[in-house]
């Protein structure tokens, strides 16, 4: 399987692509978010950007901070610690694909991984240069996982954190990752935007995951399950959610922002919300009105807008509990994670 299987140049500086899940070339336009067009596959319902632009026409995805102390990174490390323990993943060889500036590495070292056993890979020369300075004892590789990773049966664990959705052809990256993974090794895919989430349904074209120019694919449990069926050497162990218990305010801020009811305010690259501000009665009512106006009978039809608005008076605790319930529901959560094991083909 090669990249050329999916790409047919349309002669206009962009490239039309077949569905990466089922290889169909039939699609229905879903949203136009200039300069991109988001479509849904007419065969399997996978949502993706089509056509795609040449990398030179899109700004490089640059991270301005290692982001090691952010709530999101803390949640990621807590989640990884749980998965390492659950599946008895030993601290031997680990590869972090799409590492950025290496925001996870300090946390991984804190969990017991020796710096020499942690490998990092990113396609940005700038990111790799910074990561090499920060983690001189680790192996930091500059390369495109869609083309090659360069290892065979080497790693005990491979991480893809907020990674696959950034790739024009995630199937090739997954294929190469499985080649680099040992038999019985664990692949952890973390933070895939869930286009079946309540957040995506209400936000529509305003959903931040769709707005982000570097996102090419928007999976859900069904389309991702179909996506991995082509790989006979992998078994899906579990699906999970992005958030864990105890992050009510973070989730409220995230959902409110991503469905477009509040604007981001950026210091450097991070959004900072004051708990008391984000939980004002006005915002609570506005967000709930949007959510409660959804006709859940038509939930699966994402082309339909909510038709009625309600004025609700609920307590701060009610709204916190409501959002926490959504975030911990693996089908409604804004993001989802997948844990897979490579199995030996007999």
Question: Using 50, 70 and 90 to split pLDDT, how confident is the model at 307?
Answer: very low
DSSP 194: B
Question: Using 50, 70 and 90 to split pLDDT, how confident is the model at 55?
Answer: low
Same-domain check for residues 129 and 188: yes
The mean per-residue pLDDT over the stretch 270-276 comes to 40
The pLDDT mean for the chain works out to 77
The mean per-residue pLDDT over the stretch 236-243 comes to 79
Report the range of poorest mean pLDDT among 34-48, 95-109, 245-259, 329-343: 245-259
pLDDT of residue 35: 84
**Whether pLDDT at 168 is above 80:** yes
Same-domain check for residues 125 and 262: no
pLDDT of residue 213: 87
pLDDT of residue 345: 67
pLDDT of residue 341: 96
Same-domain check for residues 101 and 221: yes
Same-domain check for residues 236 and 122: yes
Same-domain check for residues 237 and 255: no
Whether 64 maps to a domain, the answer reads no
Report the range of poorest mean pLDDT among 26-40, 44-58, 179-193: 44-58
For residue 180, give the CATH number of its domain. 3.40.50.150
Same-domain check for residues 166 and 223: yes
Domain total in the chain: 3
Give the tokens for residue 254.
């995230």
Same-domain check for residues 94 and 220: yes
**Around Cβ 98, how many Cβ atoms within 10 Å?**
21
Whether 63 maps to a domain, the answer reads no
Whether 62 maps to a domain, the answer reads no
Whether 141 maps to a domain, the answer reads yes
Same-domain check for residues 301 and 166: no
Burial class (CB in 10 A: 0-12, 13-18, 19+), 137: exposed
Query: How do 217-218 and 234-241 pair as beta strands?
Result: unpaired
The mean per-residue pLDDT over the stretch 32-38 comes to 90
Whether 150 maps to a domain, the answer reads yes
Task: Tell me the HSE value of 308 on the side-chain side, using a 13 A CA sphere.
Answer: 7
Most confident option among 133-137, 170-174, 294-298: 170-174
pLDDT in tens, 195-237: 988 778 777 888 888 988 889 999 998 999 999 998 988 999 9
Question: Using 50, 70 and 90 to split pLDDT, how confident is the model at 37?
Answer: very high
Domain finish residue from 32, 57, 82:
57
pLDDT of residue 170: 96
Same-domain check for residues 150 and 211: yes
Same-domain check for residues 289 and 167: no
The mean per-residue pLDDT over the stretch 186-190 comes to 96
Whether 202 maps to a domain, the answer reads yes
Strand order in the sheet with 118-122: 139-142, 118-122, 94-97, 155-161, 181-193, 335-342, 234-241
Same-domain check for residues 126 and 196: yes
Whether 181 maps to a domain, the answer reads yes
24 is in which domain, residue-wise? 3-57
Distance, in Å, from the CA atom of 122 to the CA atom of 143, rounded to the nearest integer, reads 6
pTM score of the predicted model: 0.78
Same-domain check for residues 76 and 130: yes
Whether 198 maps to a domain, the answer reads yes
In the three-class reduction of DSSP (H, G, I as helix; E, B as strand; rest coil), residue 16 is classed as strand
Give the tokens for residue 53.
């632009």
**Around Cβ 94, how many Cβ atoms within 10 Å?**
27
Question: Using 50, 70 and 90 to split pLDDT, how confident is the model at 29?
Answer: very high
């Amino acid at each position: 399987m090669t990249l050329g299987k999916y790409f047919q140049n349309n002669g206009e500086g962009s490239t039309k692509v077949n569905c990466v899940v089922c290889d169909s070339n039939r699609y229905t336009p879903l949203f136009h978010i200039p300069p991109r067009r988001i479509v849904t596959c007419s065969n399997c319902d996978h949502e993706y950007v089509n056509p795609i632009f040449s990398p030179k026409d899109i700004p490089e995805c640059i991270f301005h901070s290692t982001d090691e102390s952010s709530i999101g990174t803390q949640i990621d490390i807590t989640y990884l610690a749980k998965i390492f323990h659950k599946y008895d993943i030993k601290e031997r060889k680990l590869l972090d694909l799409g590492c950025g500036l290496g925001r996870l590495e300090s946390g991984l070292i804190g969990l017991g991984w020796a710096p020499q056993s942690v490998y990092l890979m990113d396609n940005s020369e700038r990111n790799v240069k910074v990561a090499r300075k920060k983690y001189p004892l680790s192996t930091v590789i500059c390369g495109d996982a869609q083309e090659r990773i360069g290892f065979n049966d080497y790693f005990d664990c491979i991480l893809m954190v907020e990674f696959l959705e950034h790739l024009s052809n995630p199937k090739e990256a997954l294929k190469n990752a499985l080649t680099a993974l040992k038999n019985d090794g664990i692949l952890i895919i973390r933070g895939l935007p869930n286009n079946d989430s309540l957040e995506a349904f209400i936000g529509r074209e305003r959903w931040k995951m769709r707005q982000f120019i570097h996102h090419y694919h928007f999976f859900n449990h069904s389309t991702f399950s179909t996506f991995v069926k082509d790989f006979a050497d992998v078994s899906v162990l579990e699906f999970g959610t992005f958030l864990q218990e105890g992050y009510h305010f973070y989730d409220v801020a995230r959902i409110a922002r991503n469905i477009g009811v509040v604007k981001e305010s950026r210091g450097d690259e991070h959004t900072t919300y004051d708990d008391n501000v984000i939980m004002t009665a006005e915002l609570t009512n506005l967000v709930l009105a949007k959510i409660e106006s959804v006709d859940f009978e038509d939930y699966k039809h994402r082309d339909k807008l909510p038709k009625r608005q309600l004025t609700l008076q609920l307590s701060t605790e009610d709204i916190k509990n409501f959002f926490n319930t959504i975030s911990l529901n693996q089908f409604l959560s804004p993001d989802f994670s997948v844990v897979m094991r490579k199995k030996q083909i007999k």
